[in-house]
Amino acid sequence: MTAAGAALTLLDGDVAIISGTILFVLAGWAVTLCLHEFGHAAVAYRGGDFSVRDKGYLTLDIRRYTHPVLSIVLPLVLLVFGGLPLPGGAVWINHYALRSKKVESLVSLAGPVANLLIGILLALVVTVFSPPLALAAAISFLAMLQVIAFVLNILPIPGLDGWGVIEPYLSPKAQHVGAQARPWAPLVLFAVLISFREVNYLFFEAAGFAFEAVGGDPRLADFGRAAFMFWLYL
């Protein structure tokens, strides 16, 4: 599907370019979701939780990482209407099997780092190979989404990976508060980002700065975003 989307962007006409961009980005995002969750699982496996192998988390099979609502519906709604890339997969880690607090932190960090590395790689593809404009824009937008996912997911908020990085070193009381907030805290964050223009602007400015810092082209990413969210410009 990713290849089909890329091929469509090479055709003439707005319909083909828009359709190709949407298909490329959505299919590409599904692939990167697998890589994000694989990152968590691979580090957990090396850190002592061998159950991730039996659960199929090391197979890169998207069916192993998905939840009908949390993995598909909610992320697509946030991505399509808010431009917010929520990693919606889920790998269940046996934290008691992990060897140390450091390993626990690294397990949480591995997912966002995977997004960042993918973003850098995609930006490099555009720089090195100079694909046609529409395809370069689609690749750049997908790369930008990876960097946004990194910036978003690394925030130390319960329910996000950034919280998982610091959680092992927190007091039991703080961990308890975080566990209670985990189901709803990310939703509050996303609602704030979507509802408050100033907060949204500051967040995307920071993400854009990070994207440019890793070699991305914000202008190409904006072209890709315009094709992906075309209804905003009708």
* Residues identified as active-site: 37
CB environment 108-141: b (16+ within 10 A), e (fewer): bbbbbbbbbebbbebbeebeeeebeebbbbbbbb
Instruction: Report the distance separating Cα 18 and Cα 222, nearest Å.
Output: 13
Nearest to 34 by CA among 75, 4, 82, 80: 75
**Burial class, 96, CB count within 10 angstroms (exposed 0-12 / middle 13-18 / buried 19+):** exposed
Exposure of 232 in the CB half-sphere (CA atoms within 13 A) = 12
